[in-house]
Amino acid sequence: MVINYSASEVYKLKENRERGNGVITYGSVIKLMHERTKFRLHSHDVPYGSGSGQQSVTGFPNVDDSNNYWIVRPVPDTNAQQGDTIKGGTIIRLQHMRTRKWLHSHLLNVSLTMMPIGF
């Protein structure tokens, strides 16, 4: 996953930073929301019944649910450490907070559609 900030997102981060809470660092716990639909990236420990058998990852309506939280991690073999600030364009990994499974996005036919999966 690559973090790219839009102009409005950068403005929100700057606004939050002025209040002391807008910086994303390795180890930050975040929620990702689709701007138009307001669905959040959601997962729980329910594997697909066929195919990969990996944990399902879906979009979930704008509800505050503990299964919507992801931990920002560095990619392997980097010098990044917990607490380091993440700059736009940085490649990151996301780990589901409750299950500790990694988010993967690769082409894999699943029973519903082609979607990101976690394992």
What is the pTM for the complete model shown? 0.70
- For the chain, which residues make up each domain, given as ranges? 7-118
- Report whether 92 contacts 108 (CB < 8 A): no
- pLDDT confidence of residue 104: 79
**What local confidence, expressed as pLDDT, does residue 105 receive?**
73
User: Which among 4, 10, 27, 11 is positioned nearest to 90, based on CA atoms?
Assistant: 4
CATH architecture label of 7-118:
Trefoil (2.80)
* Residue predicted with more confidence, 68 or 53: 68
Residue 91 pLDDT greater than 60, yes or no: yes
pLDDT, one tens digit per residue, over 2-61 is 445 444 444 444 445 455 557 889 999 999 888 888 889 999 888 776 666 678 888 888
Average pLDDT estimate for 77-97: 92
pLDDT at 2: 43
Residue 53: strand, helix, or coil: coil
C-beta contacts of 38-42 below 8 A and 24+ residues apart: 38/62, 40/65, 40/68, 41/68, 41/70, 41/103, 41/116, 42/67, 42/68
* Cβ pair 41, 63 in contact under 8 A: no
Q: Return the pLDDT at 35.
A: 84
